[in-house]
Amino acid sequence: MSASDKKDSLVALLGACSAAWKAGDWHQLEEISQSVLWRASGIQLETSVLTQAASWYLGSLLGSGQLVARDHDFSDLLVVEDKVKKFDDWLDGQPRIAATIALTRAYLGEILLLSTDDSALSRGRTASLLRKIARPDLAIVVSDELLDRSRLNYYALANKGAAMADLGNLDDAIGLLSSALRPFHPTEGLDRPLNAISRAYRLRFERDGDVHDLERSFDYARASWTSYPSEFSARTYVAAAAEMGEDEKAEAEAATENIPTSPPLPNEEAVDRALQILQHHLVIDEATEQQDSSEHDLVHGNARTSASQSARAGLTWTTREDEDLKASFRRGASIKELASKHQRSAGAIRSRLRRQGLLE
């Protein structure tokens, strides 16, 4: 098959993925998106396409969402982790794809970890992460649960509104996000609903062509950037400005050009709580153990570990990586050297060596 034919085939598969996602057919989406990723190993795909395929695949592993339900059994976690481990074993031989989708894979890892904790903090973080792996439907379920606990939870309102916008329910999304702009504590965290409502108005403008929606989108985006300058608000501001015109786009790009970019860190307090609950139930499997050690470093003072050194944080250990770790340690490699080689934190290395019986 020629390169052109391979790309045409992938385009057809991506279309099938989109259809399965819209229909909520998670089993079919799992099969088709996996096929896309397998075939992508031999074709140079755009980063955005590869990331989307990974989001579809990893999100599909959650199926009907039993794992993120409040009453789920710990066995639900182990079922998903088994699939994730097989995927990680395959990723181990695909460094280009692994590097491209590392952040998306880390999002799922954090969701699995937080599934052990029923606190509002962890549930809110879970809802936010679910959107990042193409499961806004589950983000809405978790947000509704939080709103049942407290109608004043503006964070849950913002998450639900943003998720509804993901699904194309823009009118309802704008209504919810307008409510989220009137939180009980008006000075805390308004950047999330501001960015979300700007995006919802922009999407509705693109759908309906109402210039008033575009103006609202731009006003909210500019307010977010002015009040809460960040990488996220910068992207929202530039996206809205680009729809307004070239002058507005150039002004926004100039204003935001010096904002540093960095991968988002996990919510440390939520992770710490989840780890305590997980250890209490004695459910220490490979994925949660790895998240334990890597997040322990973040919570307890090693947050300055370089991005390159911990690039594989959150990924399940493969059989090949385990064997290489044992061999290197027995040859006298230091913890620092092993952390650098395996692109994981020093805490993750120590935890893995203890599991293998090589450290006390």
Domain boundaries, the chain: 136-244, 268-355
- For residues 1 and 92, give the distance between their C-alpha atoms in angstroms, rounded to a whole number: 26
pLDDT at 10: 84
Q: Which residues of 134-150 are buried (b: 16+ CB within 10 A; e: fewer)?
A: bbbbbbbbbbebbbeee
pLDDT at 254: 92
Residue with tokens 């789920």: 72
Contact between residue 157 and residue 193 where contact means Cβ atoms under 8 Å apart: yes
Q: Any idea what the Cα angle at residue 93 is, between residues 91 and 94, rounded to 5°?
A: 60
Domain spanning 136-244 has what CATH number?
1.25.40.10
pTM for this entry: 0.72
- Give me 130's structure tokens: 């679910």
End-to-end CA distance of the chain: 54
Contact between residue 312 and residue 352 where contact means Cβ atoms under 8 Å apart: no
Nearest to 349 by CA among 305, 286, 290: 290
Give me the average pLDDT of each 10-residue run along the chain (360 residues). 73 92 95 91 81 94 89 81 91 89 91 87 92 96 93 88 96 93 61 92 96 96 90 92 93 86 56 52 41 43 44 66 83 83 80 78
- For residues 188 and 176, give the distance between their C-alpha atoms in angstroms, rounded to a whole number: 18
pLDDT at 312: 59
